[in-house]
Amino acid sequence: MHIAAVKKIIDECENTKTILFDWNIEAKPGQFVMVWLPDVDEVPMSLSHLSGTKGITVEKVGEATAAIHKLKPGDKIGIRGPFGNGFSKAGSSGDSRSSNKILAIGGGTGIAPLAPTVEKWAAEGCEITCAIGGNTKSKLLFSERLKNTGSSVHVATDDGSDGHNGFVTEVAEKLLSEQKFDRIITCGPEPMTVIMVQLASRFEVPIQCSLERYMKCGFGICGSCSIGGFRVCKDGPVFDGRLLSSLAEF
Amino acid sequence: MPSSRTEIAGIEMQNPTILASGILGQTGESILRVFKEGGAGCAVTKSIGIEPRDGHGNPCALELDNSLINAMGLPNPGIDAFGDEIKIALKSGKPVIGSIFASTPEDFATLAGKMEDFGAHAVELNLSCPHAEKYGLEVGTDPGRVGDILAAVKSKVKIPVFSKISAMVPDIRGLAKTIEASGGDGIVAINTLKAMKIEPEIGKPVLRNVYGGLSGPAIKPVGVMCVFEISREVKIPVIGVGGITTGADAIEYFMAGASAIQIGSGVHYRGIDVFKKVNAEIIKFMEAHGYDDLSQLIGMARGV
C-alpha cells in the first residue's frame, strides 16, 4: 500500500472533486486504485490523472465519497494498485485492427477514466470524437479538458441545459450513422453501456466498456466482483462488448 | 508420461490440484472457469453458512511481501441460494466440494445435508477461518467440539467429510486423531494464519476487521510441517494447502504426506491457470526423477 499526502483538491463540477496526490508509478488509462480512508472505508476509484501526479475524480454519493470530499491538502490516504487492464488502443485478442479514429462515450463520473485515455491517445495521434452526458450543465465533467486535447466534443444533458436534450447514447447513434470509427471506448452508468454495446454491434464497430462493481480485494482472488465468471477487478474493468453480450448477468 | 492422478476418500481426480475455499468459489461460473481455463482437478466452494452474510468491510485484503492478508469475513449468499451455483459448477464433470461453516453441530449437519442434496461430491468443514467471530478457528480448536460436529455431520450425510483445520491449535496431532476417531474422511491443512498489518504512516491497523489471515509463499513451511505431523498420526488422507504456487511446493507437500493439494493465493501469483502450471511442473519433476505414479511420492519424507 502506498501512503500518499493529498497534494491539491479541485472542484470540477457540482458535487464532484478531483484529489491529486504524488505517486511515482506507471499506470495505464482505464486502470483503477483502491483508496483507503482510515476509519471509514476503502473504495475502488478510476484514475483520472495519470502523469507523475495521480488523481481521482469523485462524486459525493455516500459515506466513503463524502469522506473523500472532506479531505484537505496534506491529509494522508492509502492507495493500492493500480489494478485492472485499462483501455487498449490495440484492442483485445482477435481484434488486431489499429485504431486511429476513436469514439469516446462517457456518462457522469464515467468520464473520469476516459479523460486521461483521450489525452494520451490524442497526443499519440488518434483522431478522437467525444460525446459526454450528464443530468445538467453544472454536472458535466471534463468538457473543457477534453476540448483541450483537440478532440471534437459533443454534449448531452438530461434537462437540455447544454447540448443535446436527452441521452448521450442518442448523440452516439447519430455520430455512428454519420462517420466511420475504428473503435469505441465507453464508461458510464450500466444502462448507457448496455445501449452502447447494442449500437456498436449494429454499426459493427469494436467497443471497449469500463464496468463498475463493488470490489473487495481488487486483485482477483475474492471473486466478489465477478460477472459471468470474469472478475471486473482483474479481467476488467475494461471488457470487449462482444464478451459482455455473451454474459447473462450483463 | 507419469500420472499425477490421485484419489481421496473415493473421489477420483485427474490431477491433484484443488481450488482452495475462499478463492473465486462464490459463483458456479467462476468455478467453471477455474476448471476450464485453470485446469484444476477439483474445486472447493467458498464457505457457505445458514444465512446470507456480507462479510467484513473494506479494506479486507492486502498484498504484503511474499504473502497476502485477508479478512473477507465469510461473505456468502447463504446455503439456500447456493444450490444453483453448485449445479453450474457440476457441469464441469469434475468433483466439487462444498465448504461450510457454522457454530453448532446441528447447523453443520443441516448445511452438509443441503450440500449433499445439491450434488456436492464431499463437504469440507471450515474449522479454521481465523477472522470470523464465533466461526472457523473459534470452533475448531477444541477437539471435543470438533468431535461433536463430525459426529453430527457424519450421521447426516453419506458423502465424504473433510475437516479443514488450522495450524494455530495447541495440539494438531491430538486434533487429527480426534477427527479420525470421529469418522472424518480426510483432513485439510492448513488455513490462513491469524495475522495483522499496521500502517506506520497512519498509525492504525489497515484491515477494517483488524485481524486477518495470512496466506501465500510465506506460510508454506508451516503448512508442510502440519501435513507432516498429521499424516504421521492418522491413516485418513491429508490434503495439503498453504503457500503453494509451484510444482516444487506441491512436491514438498506430497512428500510430507498429502494425497492432494489446494491452491488459493497462487491464483494471484500465477493466474487462474496456476493449476495447469503446477500440475505440469509436478509431472516434469516426476519424469526427471523416474516416478510413474504420484503415490510413490506421498509420505516419502516421513521416514516412519
Of the candidates B259, B104, B121, B248, the one whose C-alpha atom is nearest the C-alpha of residue B189 is B259
Concatenated DSSP letters of A78-128: EEEEEES----TT-STT------EEEEEEEGGGHHHHHHHHHHHHHTT-EE
> What would the pLDDT profile of B152-192 be if each residue is shown by its tens digit?
999 999 999 999 999 999 999 999 999 999 999 999 999 99
Kindly indicate the confidence band of residue B248, based on its pLDDT and cuts at 50, 70 and 90. Answer: very high
Residues of A in Cβ contact (< 8 Å) with B265: 221
CB contact under 8 A, A80 and B62: yes
CB contact under 8 A, A221 and B63: no
Q: How far apart are CA A245 and CA A219, in angstroms?
A: 24
**Phi, psi dihedral angles at B128 (to 5 degrees):** -150, 0
**For residue A94, what are the CA distances in angstroms to A176, A179, A182, A240, A242?**
22, 24, 15, 11, 11
Boundaries of every domain in chain A: 2-83, 101-245
* B61 at A interface, C-beta within 8 A: yes
Does the structure show a pLDDT above 60 at B109?
yes
Mean pLDDT of B92-97: 98
CB contact under 8 A, A41 and B57: yes
Report the SS3 class of residue B175: helix
* B24 at A interface, C-beta within 8 A: yes
The residues pairing with B11 across neighbouring beta strands, listed in sequence order, are: B8
The separation between CA B2 and the C-alpha centre of its own chain, rounded to angstroms, equals 26
- Out of B46, B206, B265, whose CB is closest to A78? B206
Of the candidates B114, B110, B111, B162, the one whose C-alpha atom is nearest the C-alpha of residue B140 is B162
pLDDT of residue B128: 95
The CB density around residue A53, as the number of other CB atoms within 10 Å, is 13
Mean pLDDT of B17-23: 97
Kindly indicate the confidence band of residue B303, based on its pLDDT and cuts at 50, 70 and 90. Answer: confident
CB contact under 8 A, A36 and B206: yes
> What would the pLDDT profile of B57-88 be if each residue is shown by its tens digit?
999 999 999 999 999 999 999 999 999 999 99
- The structural domains of chain B, ordered by start, are 6-55+74-193+216-302 (3.20.20.70)
Shortest Cα–Cα distance, B245 to chain A (Å): 14
CB contact under 8 A, B267 and A221: yes
> What would the pLDDT profile of B2-14 be if each residue is shown by its tens digit?
999 999 999 999 9
Active site residue B226: no
Closest A-chain CA to B55: A216
Percentage of chain B modeled with pLDDT above 70: 100
* B58 at A interface, C-beta within 8 A: yes
Write out the CATH class of domain A101-245.
Answer: alpha beta
pLDDT of residue A250: 78
Instruction: Take residue B146 and report the three cell numbers written for it.
Output: 470438533
A·B CB contacts under 8 A: 86
Residues of B in Cβ contact (< 8 Å) with A222: 22-24, 60-61, 70, 72
- Interface confidence: ipTM more than 0.85: yes
Alpha-helical (H) ranges within chain A are 63-69, 111-123, 143-147, 168-178, 190-202, 241-245
Report the SS3 class of residue A208: strand
Q: How far apart are CA A238 and CA A26, in angstroms?
A: 18
* B84 at A interface, C-beta within 8 A: no
The answer to whether A12 touches A134, Cβ cutoff 8 Å, is no
Q: How far apart are CA B170 and CA B154, in angstroms?
A: 25
Q: How far apart are CA A203 and CA A178, in angstroms?
A: 11
Sign of the Cα pseudo-torsion (B65, B55, B21, B29, in order):
negative
> What would the pLDDT profile of B35-49 be if each residue is shown by its tens digit?
999 999 999 999 999
pLDDT of residue B304: 52
pLDDT of residue A51: 86
Q: How far apart are CA A137 and CA A183, in angstroms?
A: 27
Instruction: Take residue B265 and report the three cell numbers written for it.
Output: 493465493
The CB density around residue B121, as the number of other CB atoms within 10 Å, is 21
Residues of B in Cβ contact (< 8 Å) with A228: 29
- Out of B30, B46, B199, whose CB is closest to A229? B30
Q: How far apart are CA B304 and CA B301, in angstroms?
A: 9
DSSP class of residue A151 equals -
**Phi, psi dihedral angles at B33 (to 5 degrees):** -65, -35
> What would the pLDDT profile of B138-157 be if each residue is shown by its tens digit?
999 999 999 999 999 999 99
pLDDT of residue B187: 98
Closest A-chain CA to B56: A216
Tell me which of 2.40.30.10, 1.10.3720.10, 2.40.50.100, 1.10.10.10 is the CATH number of domain A2-83.
2.40.30.10
Write down how long chain B is. 304
Concatenated DSSP letters of B101-165: --SSHHHHHHHHHHHHHHT-SEEEEE---TTSTTSTHHHHS-HHHHHHHHHHHHHH-SS-EEEEE
pLDDT of residue A93: 47
Question: Per-residue confidence of chain A (250 residues) as pLDDT tens digits?
Answer: 999 999 999 999 999 999 999 999 999 999 999 999 999 999 999 999 998 899 999 999 999 999 999 999 999 999 999 999 999 987 654 455 556 899 999 999 999 999 999 999 999 999 999 999 999 999 999 999 999 999 999 999 999 999 999 999 999 999 999 999 999 999 999 999 999 999 999 999 999 999 999 899 999 999 999 999 999 999 999 999 999 999 877 7
* B173 at A interface, C-beta within 8 A: no
Q: How far apart are CA A4 and CA A23, in angstroms?
A: 7
Of the candidates B225, B279, B280, the one whose C-alpha atom is nearest the C-alpha of residue B252 is B225
